[in-house]
C-alpha cells in the first residue's frame, strides 16, 4: 500500500499536468485569453485555428461557428476578423490549388472565398459533374488542410465575368424564362441543382468539422432586384438543404439596401473607400460587424480595350484604412486565373463588350500564380496587423520559353463539315440554345454555321439579329461581317444559278451583369433579310468544338501542308516537343487574327489581334514530355508559327480611375 504522501504527490502531479495541458490548449486555440499575447490581440483580433495542426480534441465542442456580437465577429466564442482572398477553383488548374492556398497563408490571410459555377457543374440538365478540376470536395479539403476557412458563394448567379453569370444557357430554351426570380421554370431548375450541390457542401460546414464558416445568399441581387420574394426563396433553399452556418449577402453601395434578406449579414463591395461608405452599412443593419466582401484589387479587361491596372500603393493604403475601422475584408481577387475555353462573360452598358481570356485582374498573384508587388506590400501590412510571424512564401514555379512552333498542316472548315458535323435542317434560323443537340439542351458555346441558298445578290440586313458576330460568305468567298454595329452588307451579284450564303456566327460570351440576362440567346435570334425578304430553309452546323469533336478532327482526311498565304476559316496543327519536365509557358500568336487554341485537347481560350491580351497562358500540367499537339481554329488570317515565351504580355496598360 502506498503511503498517503505518495497519493497526494501523484494527485498534485496529475493536477499540474492537467493545468499544463489546458495552458497549452489555451495558448494554441484561445491566445487572446492569455496575458502573454494580449498585446497583439488588442492590436487586431485576427487569430484563427490552424487547420494543419488540428487534432480530434481540437475538433470537439465546435458548436457556435461564426457569430456576431457587439459589432464584431466571434468564432467559437472568440473575437475573430476575416482576412480573406478570392480564388476560383474552376479558373486554376487543380495541380496548382494548394500552391495558391499556401501563398494566401504566406500573405497573412485566414479565409478563402470562392464562387461555384452552375454552368460547369450542370452543363446538361440533370447531369452533374464534380470531378477533376470541378472537384469541389477536394478543393474544400485542401483549404482545410492548409489552414484556411472558407466563405462559399454558391449563387446560383455568381457574376464574376463568367458566361451568363454562371447560369447554364439551357435555361434560355424557355422563351418566357425570367432568370433570378421566383418564376417556376427557374426555381425548379435551382431546386434540382441545389439538391445535388448541397450534398457536397453540407458536410464541409464548420459545425460538422469542415472549413466553411459562412455561405453567401445569391450575389449582388440589389443591382438586379426584379422580384421581392426571390432572396427569401434562395435563403430558404439553402436552409432547407442543411446549411447551418452564417448567411451573408453582397452588394455595392447602390444595391445594398435592395439586396437584403432577413437573417443574413449584409456586406459591401467597392474599390475606392468613399467617406462614410462603411458607416452606410449601419443604416441598413445596426450593431453588426462590417465586412467588405469584395475589395477589388484590380479590374478585368475587354477585347479592344486596355489592360487595366490598379496602383499597388493606393490599393494597400485603402486596405489599411479599411482595417483601421475594424472591418473584415476579402480581396477580390487574390488570384484571378484564366477564363479557359469559351467561358468568359461580357458587359452590355452603352455597347456590348466581351471579356478577354485572361482573368489576371491585376490581382495579388498573377494569372500564372506569381507574386506581385501587391503581395509583398500586403504581406508586410498583415504581418504588422496580426503581430505574429507569417509562413515563408513558397518558391515560384519557373516558366519556360520553348521557342517557335511551326503549324505545318491545315484543313479548311468547309472540308471538315461534311466529315464531322451532321447539319440540322430548319425553315427558319434557330438560336444556339434551342438547337436539338446534346440531349436537347442546345449548344451553349462556340460557333454555329447557318447555310442557305440564294439566287443573285443584293442588300443583306440582319435587323440586329446576330449574336454576337457573323462572318458572311458566298460559297467559300468572304464578303464581310455582321455584328452589333454592322447590320447590313452588300452581296455581290454572281453568275446565274444558286449560290450558298453562309453565316459563321460566334458566341463571344454572354453578358454576366446587368438587367439584360434574359436576352442572352446566341447565334441568329431572328430573321435575316436579303432584299427585304427573310431567308429560309437553313442547314445549321454546330461547332461547339467539344473534346470529342477535337479528337475526331485528328483523324479526318484532308490535312495539307500550309501554303505561304491562306485565309480561313480553317484548323491548323503543329507539335511542341518537350525534353524535360514541362513548365508553364505563354503562347504568343503574332501574325494570327482571331480564333481559339487547343493544346492536347484542352481549350486555352480565345485570342484576337485587337488586344489587349497578346499571350495565352498554357499551364505546365497540361503539357507532357515528348510531343504535344497544338490545334488552332483561325477565323481569317493565319500565321505560320506561334511563339512559346516565358513572360506574359497582357497589353497596353491603363490605370483604373
Report, as residue numbers or ranges, the catalytic residues: 220, 294
CA–CA separation, 147 vs 157, rounded Å?
A: 28
Q: Which residues contact 147 (CB under 8 A, 6 or more apart)?
A: 48, 49, 50, 51, 52, 105, 110
Name the residue with cell 456580437.
69
Closest by alpha carbon to 566, among 431, 409, 433? 409
CA–CA separation, 230 vs 224, rounded Å?
A: 11
Closest by alpha carbon to 137, among 207, 238, 212? 212
How much is the CA Rg of the chain, to the nearest whole Å?
28
Cell of 108: 497573412
First to last CA, the chain: 84
CA distances from 302 to 9, 151, 307, 344, 514 (A): 76, 28, 8, 10, 16
Q: Which conformational region is residue 144 in: left (phi greater than 0), alpha (psi within -120 to 50 degrees), or beta? A: alpha
* Degrees to nearest 5, angle at CA 164 with 603 and 309: 75
8 A C-beta contact, residue 365 and residue 372: yes
Closest by alpha carbon to 346, among 354, 338, 334, 335? 354
Cell of 163: 458566361
8 A C-beta contact, residue 471 and residue 504: yes
CA–CA separation, 567 vs 590, rounded Å?
A: 16
Enumerate the β-bridge partners of residue 644: 403, 587
CA distances from 514 to 225, 347, 519 (A): 10, 8, 11
CA distances from 473 to 448, 454, 556 (A): 14, 12, 24
The string over 563-582, giving b where at least 16 C-beta atoms fall within 10 Å of a residue's C-beta and e elsewhere, is eeebebbbbbbbebebeeeb
User: Residue 399 has what DSSP assignment?
Assistant: B
8 A C-beta contact, residue 102 and residue 87: no
Query: Is residue 210 classed exposed, middle or buried when 0-12, 13-18 and 19+ CB atoms within 10 A define those classes?
Result: buried
Q: Which residues contact 320 (CB under 8 A, 6 or more apart)?
A: 381
CA distances from 128 to 194, 195, 446 (A): 11, 11, 21
Cell of 262: 432577413
DSSP 461-474: E-TT-EESEEEEEE
Query: Is residue 127 classed exposed, middle or buried when 0-12, 13-18 and 19+ CB atoms within 10 A define those classes?
Result: exposed
Amino acid at each position: 500500500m502506498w503511503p498517503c504522501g505518495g497519493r497526494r504527490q501523484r494527485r498534485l502531479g496529475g493536477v499540474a499536468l492537467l493545468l499544463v495541458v489546458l495552458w497549452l490548449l489555451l495558448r494554441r486555440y484561445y491566445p487572446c485569453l492569455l496575458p502573454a499575447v494580449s498585446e497583439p490581440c488588442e492590436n487586431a483580433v485576427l487569430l484563427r485555428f490552424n487547420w494543419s495542426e488540428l487534432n480530434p480534441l481540437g475538433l470537439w465542442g465546435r458548436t457556435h461557428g461564426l457569430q456576431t456580437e457587439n459589432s464584431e465577429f466571434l468564432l467559437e466564442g472568440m473575437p475573430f476578423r476575416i482576412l480573406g482572398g478570392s480564388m476560383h477553383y474552376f479558373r486554376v488548374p487543380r495541380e496548382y490549388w494548394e500552391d495558391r492556398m499556401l501563398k494566401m497563408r504566406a500573405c497573412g490571410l485566414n479565409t478563402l472565398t470562392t464562387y461555384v459555377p452552375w454552368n460547369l457543374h450542370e452543363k446538361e440538365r440533370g447531369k452533374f459533374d464534380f470531378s477533376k478540376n470541378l472537384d469541389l470536395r477536394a478543393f474544400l479539403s485542401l483549404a482545410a488542410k492548409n489552414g484556411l476557412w472558407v466563405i462559399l458563394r454558391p449563387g446560383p448567379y455568381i457574376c464574376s465575368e463568367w458566361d451568363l453569370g454562371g447560369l447554364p444557357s439551357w435555361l434560355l430554351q424557355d422563351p418566357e424564362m425570367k432568370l433570378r426570380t421566383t418564376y417556376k421554370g427557374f426555381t425548379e431548375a435551382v431546386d434540382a441543382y441545389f439538391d445535388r450541390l448541397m450534398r457536397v457542401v453540407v458536410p464541409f460546414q464548420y459545425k460538422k468539422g469542415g472549413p466553411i464558416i459562412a455561405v453567401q445568399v445569391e450575389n449582388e441581387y440589389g443591382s438586379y432586384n426584379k422580384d421581392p420574394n426571390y432572396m427569401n426563396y434562395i435563403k430558404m433553399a439553402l436552409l432547407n438543404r442543411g446549411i447551418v452556418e452564417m448567411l451573408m449577402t453582397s452588394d455595392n453601395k447602390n444595391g445594398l439596401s435592395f439586396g437584403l434578406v432577413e437573417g443574413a449579414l449584409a456586406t459591401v463591395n467597392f474599390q475606392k473607400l468613399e467617406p462614410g461608405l462603411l458607416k452606410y452599412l449601419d443604416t441598413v443593419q445596426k450593431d453588426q460587424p462590417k465586412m467588405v466582401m469584395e475589395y477589388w484589387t484590380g479590374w478585368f479587361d475587354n477585347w479592344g480595350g486596355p489592360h487595366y491596372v490598379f496602383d499597388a500603393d493606393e490599393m494597400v493604403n485603402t486596405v489599411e484604412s479599411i482595417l483601421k475601422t475594424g472591418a473584415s475584408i476579402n480581396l477580390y481577387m487574390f488570384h484571378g486565373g484564366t477564363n479557359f475555353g469559351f467561358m468568359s462573360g461580357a458587359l452590355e452598358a452603352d455597347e456590348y463588350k466581351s471579356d478577354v481570356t485572361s482573368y489576371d485582374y491585376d490581382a495579388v498573384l498573377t494569372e500564372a500564380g506569381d507574386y506581385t508587388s501587391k503581395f509583398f506590400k500586403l504581406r508586410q501590412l498583415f504581418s504588422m496587423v496580426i503581430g505574429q510571424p507569417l509562413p515563408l512564401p513558397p518558391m515560384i514555379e519557373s516558366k519556360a520559353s520553348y521557342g517557335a512552333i511551326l503549324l505545318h498542316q491545315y484543313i479548311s472548315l468547309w472540308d471538315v463539315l461534311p466529315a464531322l458535323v451532321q447539319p440540322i435542317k430548319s425553315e427558319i434560323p434557330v438560336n444556339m440554345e434551342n438547337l436539338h443537340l446534346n440531349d436537347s439542351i442546345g449548344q451553349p458555346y462556340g460557333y454555329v454555321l447557318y447555310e442557305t441558298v440564294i439566287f443573285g445578290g443584293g442588300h443583306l440586313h440582319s435587323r440586329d439579329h446576330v449574336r454576337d458576330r457573323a462572318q458572311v460568305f458566298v460559297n467559300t468567298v468572304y464578303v464581310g461581317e455582321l455584328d452589333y454595329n454592322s447590320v447590313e452588307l452588300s452581296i455581290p451579284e454572281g453568275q446565274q444559278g444558286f449560290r450558298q450564303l453562309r453565316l459563321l456566327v460566334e458566341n463571344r460570351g454572354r453578358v454576366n451583369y446587368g438587367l439584360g440576362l434574359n436576352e442572352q440567346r446566341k447565334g441568329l435570334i431572328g430573321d435575316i433579310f436579303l432584299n427585304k425578304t427573310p431567308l429560309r430553309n437553313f442547314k445549321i452546323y454546330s461547332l461547339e468544338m467539344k473534346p470529342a469533336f477535337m479528337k475526331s478532327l485528328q483523324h479526318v482526311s484532308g490535312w495539307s501542308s500550309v501554303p505561304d498565304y491562306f485565309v480561313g476559316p480553317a484548323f491548323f496543327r503543329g507539335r511542341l516537343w518537350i525534353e524535360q519536365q514541362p513548365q508553364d509557358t505563354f503562347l504568343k500568336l503574332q501574325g494570327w487574327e482571331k480564333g481559339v487554341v487547343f493544346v492536347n485537347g484542352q481549350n486555352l481560350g480565345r485570342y484576337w489581334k485587337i488586344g489587349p491580351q497578346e499571350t495565352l497562358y498554357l499551364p505546365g500540367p497540361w503539357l507532357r514530355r515528348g510531343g504535344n499537339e497544338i490545334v488552332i481554329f483561325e477565323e481569317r488570317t493565319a500565321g505560320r508559327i506561334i511563339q512559346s515565351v516565358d513572360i506574359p504580355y497582357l497589353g497596353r496598360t491603363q490605370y483604373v480611375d
